[in-house]
């Protein structure tokens, strides 16, 4: 490890793609210092709760496919190796890429280390308590993702349902659902991909609050990044929002989804009203049998550890700066990477997070980052 102590200039919390992107630029400063091209670089460390590299990608289901080809799914500096299989790269391919990435740049990732609480130190800076002791730092870059905080709506009858319920985060593949009545809830990418994954083997009912909205078939991760960037730039310039990706649709038509949709297997029904012991009741009173309900209802940013800071919330997320949307308005030493467009254009994507990571590291270090 680069630092033997537990007092660093910059502490990155989370070692998924967003945390590694920050690590890349922090490492660049370290390299520039070593070659005499710049002054002293900030010391840093990355704390990651997972036992293995790869962030959320190591937990995704087997058939998950990226929105875009490898060439448009890379973090800064090192291109994701080409994918030899059909379609776009798998989740494992990404997890392996991230594993290689952190060793290639010799990033000081400490794992498994879970941050439990972040509070302000008396003389400025942050005190960071973990399940493996205390760290202190001048800057905290939060990159904890949202995989650990699934969002499941409470509906009448939830407790009486006798079947199995799980969230996207618990889905591993279609094998254990063959021949069963499965209700998949959610009109986003996870809902569409999981419904498409199950239709060949299970009796699937796909349920969405509003009719599914597919992005045009030619829109992939690269286009999403461009759209998100335009939106954030417009907002930062005080211009009206362009509507962003959401104005185009919610679901990226990856090949598996397109195939199921075009075969007429992805006809969504409206959201049901309540759960019953062996199924769900629709708004019109009809009953749908359900052995399993899979809630593909999204995630919330995993920020419990920041509670002691008492951050101001805006639209349910920490308020951030209009010019540098990763930077907290409450605490200039605090940054957010990877959660969504609110903290940087396409910050939740491999291709998008690098730009905001670079700007955040430059602001944190008080020096330009090449
Ligand atoms: P994560 O990958 O979740 O990593 C966060 C890390 O922080 C984890 O290792 C976690 O253990 C750690 N952590 C959490 N809390 C703590 C704590 N308190 N202390 C210490 N460590 C902590 N993105 C793309 O770019 N392209 C795609 O094609 C794409 N397809 C997707 C398809 C689906 C169905 C889904 C669900 C997502 C997809 N994404 C895609 C999004 C992408 O997977 C996530 O946005 C991305 O994993 C977020 O990266 P992250 O580094 O912010 O968070």
CA of 237 to the centre of ligand 1 (A): 29
Query: Do 205 and 267 touch, CB atoms closer than 8 A?
Result: no
pLDDT in tens, 62-113: 888 888 888 888 999 999 999 998 888 999 999 999 999 999 999 999 999 9
Q: Determine whether 230 is exposed, middle or buried from the number of CB atoms within 10 Å of its CB (0-12, 13-18, 19+).
A: middle
Ligand 1: centre distance to CA 47 (Å): 14
Is the bond into 171 cis (omega within 30 degrees of 0)? no
Q: How confident is the model at residue 232 (pLDDT cuts 50, 70, 90)?
A: low
Quick: pLDDT tens for 349-366.
898 899 999 999 999 999
Closest-lying ligand 1 atom to the alpha carbon of residue 18: 51
Which residue is associated with the tokens 């941050």? 115
224, β-bridge pairs: none
Measuring CA to CA, how many Å separate 246 from each of 68, 168, 185, 326? 18, 21, 19, 20
User: Does the CB atom of residue 305 touch ligand 1 within 6 A?
Assistant: yes
Residue pair 181/164 in contact (Cβ under 8 Å)? The answer is no
Q: Do residues 212 and 192 make contact, with C-beta atoms less than 8 angstroms apart?
A: yes
Q: Hey, which of 11, 12, 16, 187 would you mutate to test ligand 1's pocket, going by the most ligand atoms within 8 Å of its Cβ?
A: 16
Which pLDDT does position 99 carry in this prediction? 98
Residue 1 has a pLDDT of: 39
What is the pTM assigned to this prediction? 0.92
Angle at 73 between CA 67 and CA 76, to 5 degrees: 155
- The per-residue pLDDT for 243 is 61
| Both tokens assigned to 207 | 């349920």
User: What are the contacts of 34-40 at 24+ separation with CB within 8 A?
Assistant: 38/367, 39/367
pLDDT digits (tens, 9 = 90+) for 130-168: 999 999 999 999 999 999 999 999 999 999 999 999 999
If you take atom 40 of ligand 1, which residue's CA is the nearest one? 349
Q: What is the pLDDT of residue 221?
A: 64
Which pLDDT score is estimated for 2? 39
Our answer on whether the CB atom of 50 is closer than 6 Å to any ligand 1 atom is yes
Torsion angles phi and psi, residue 142, rounded to 5 = -85, 125
Q: How far is the CA of 57 from the centre of ligand 1 (A)?
A: 7
- Where would I find the H helices in 48-185? 91-104
The whole-number pLDDT of residue 247 equals 62
Would you place residue 3 in the very low, low, confident or very high pLDDT band (cuts 50, 70, 90)? Answer: very low
Rounded mean pLDDT, 230-256: 72
In the block, tokens 């630029």 appear at 25
Token pair, residue 85, equals: 């299989």
Q: What pLDDT is recorded for position 125? A: 95
Q: Rounded to whole angstroms, how far apart are CA atoms 286 and 22?
A: 51
Decide if pLDDT at 277 tops 50: yes
pLDDT at 301: 96
Of 141, 324, 315, the C-alpha closest to 233 is 324
- Average pLDDT, rounded, for the chain: 92
For residues 132 and 244, which has the higher predicted lDDT (pLDDT)?
132
């Amino acid at each position: 490890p680069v630092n033997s102590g537990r007092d660093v200039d910059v502490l990155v919390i989370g070692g998924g793609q967003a945390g590694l992107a920050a690590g890349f630029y922090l490492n660049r400063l370290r390299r520039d210092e070593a070659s005499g091209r710049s002054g002293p670089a900030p010391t840093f460390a990355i704390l990651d709760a997972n036992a293995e590299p790869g962030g959320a990608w190591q937990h995704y289901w087997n058939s998950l496919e990226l929105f875009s080809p490898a060439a448009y799914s890379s973090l800064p500096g090192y291109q994701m190796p080409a994918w030899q299989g059909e379609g776009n790269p798998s989740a494992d391919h990404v997890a392996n890429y991230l594993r290689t990435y952190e060793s290639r740049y010799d990033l000081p990732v400490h794992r498994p280390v879970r941050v439990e609480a972040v509070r302000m130190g008396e003389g400025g800076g942050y005190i960071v308590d973990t399940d493996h002791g205390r760290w202190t730092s001048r800057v905290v870059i939060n990159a904890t993702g949202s995989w650990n905080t699934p969002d499941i709506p409470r509906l009448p009858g939830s407790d009486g349902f006798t079947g199995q319920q799980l969230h996207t985060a618990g889905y591993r593949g279609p094998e254990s659902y063959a021949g069963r009545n499965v209700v998949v809830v959610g009109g986003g990418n996870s809902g569409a991909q999981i419904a498409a994954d199950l239709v060949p083997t299970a009796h699937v009912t796909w349920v969405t609050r509003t009719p599914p909205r597919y992005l045009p078939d030619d829109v992939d991760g690269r286009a999403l990044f461009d759209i998100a960037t335009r939106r954030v730039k417009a907002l930062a310039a005080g211009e009206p929002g362009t509507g962003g990706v959401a104005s185009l649709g919610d679901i990226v038509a990856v090949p598996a989804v397109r195939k199921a949709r075009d075969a007429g297997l992805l006809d969504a029904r409206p959201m049901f009203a309540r759960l019953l012991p062996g199924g769900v009741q629709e708004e019109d009173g009809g009953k749908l049998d359900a052995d399993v309900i899979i809630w593909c209802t999204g995630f919330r940013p995993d920020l419990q550890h920041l509670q002691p800071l008492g951050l101001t919330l805006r639209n349910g997320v920490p308020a951030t700066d209009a010019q540098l949307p990763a930077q907290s308005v409450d605490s200039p030493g605090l940054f957010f990477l990877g959660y969504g467009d609110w903290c940087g254009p396409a910050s939740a994507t491999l291709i998008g997070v690098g730009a905001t990571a670079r700007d955040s590291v430059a602001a944190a270090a008080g020096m330009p980052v090449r």
